[in-house]
Amino acid sequence: MKKTTRIKKNHRLIVLQKLIITSAVIGFLSALLGNTLKKITEHYEAIFFTLAQQHWLLYLLFPILGFSIIYFLRQTLFRKKENKGIKEIYESTESKNKNLPAYKVSSHFLNGLITVIFGGSTGIEVSTVVASAAIGSVVQQKENLFKRYKTQLICAGIASGITALFGSPFAGLIFAYEVISRKWSRSFLLTNGVAVAVAFAFT
């Protein structure tokens, strides 16, 4: 009996350690994505805006060019696979078998970057949310143990991405909870707490 109890305790400890390490990895990768997207976007947005101020016709041409590049990338590089925004995250968290594929990271990164720098009407927030959610989804697929924590780890990616964008762990946690998870749990607080702490440290 004591041996069984000890084995259960050891198993829980192993799960806890793996969750902490995995959450830290997700936090780092999502922060890297968010920070990179923000800095590159700000850099090229400033350049293109300066050019447009000097040549007013570019105000008309840039959005058309941006839309054309996104369309070309979707048709070729991403094989006509459509980006659905946050809806994709809901579809993943509500299904046991459906996961966000790895290509969603690069797809949403490029989509957000190109849309903003060429004067599109949306920001990089949604792209960061979906791309960082995809990071969480891909990482949790690496081990069967994490299947029961799928939503928590996806939220950890989202919370970290928001933390990187706005420099606020609290904003990341609240967004992940209110928009995606919608329920508190110890596993949510652990995974997301570790992830946003790591993300904030690298922001």
Cβ atoms within 10 Å of 121's Cβ, excluding its own: 7
Average pLDDT over residues 148-157: 96
15 is written with which tokens?
Answer: 């799960």
Average pLDDT over residues 173-196: 95
User: Which region among 1-5, 43-47, 85-89 has the lowest average model confidence (pLDDT)?
Assistant: 1-5
Q: What is the pLDDT of residue 4?
A: 61
Q: What is the pLDDT of residue 9?
A: 65
CA proximity to 138, closest of 154, 160, 156, 127: 154
Q: What is the pLDDT of residue 5?
A: 63
Question: Is the per-residue pLDDT at 200 higher than 60?
Answer: yes
Q: Give the model confidence (pLDDT) of 42-67 as tens digits.
A: 999 999 999 999 999 999 999 999 99
Q: What is the pLDDT of residue 143?
A: 86
33 is written with which tokens?
Answer: 């994505």
Question: Is the per-residue pLDDT at 8 higher than 80?
Answer: no
42 is written with which tokens?
Answer: 């700000």
Average pLDDT over residues 178-187: 93
At CA 154, angle to CA 108 and CA 156, rounded to 5?
105
Where do the domains of the chain lie, and which CATH numbers do they carry?
2-201 (1.10.3080.10)
Question: Is the per-residue pLDDT at 186 higher than 80?
Answer: yes
Question: Is the per-residue pLDDT at 1 higher than 60?
Answer: no
> Which residue type, as a one-letter code, is found at position 13?
L
Average pLDDT over residues 192-202: 97
Q: Give the model confidence (pLDDT) of 119-145 as tens digits.
A: 877 789 999 999 999 999 999 998 888
Answer whether 89's CB lies under 8 Å from 129's CB.
Answer: yes
What is the percent of the chain with per-residue pLDDT over 90, rounded to a whole number? 77
Q: What is the pLDDT of residue 2?
A: 58
Question: Is the per-residue pLDDT at 11 higher than 80?
Answer: no
Average pLDDT over residues 10-24: 90
CA proximity to 31, closest of 188, 186, 138, 136: 136
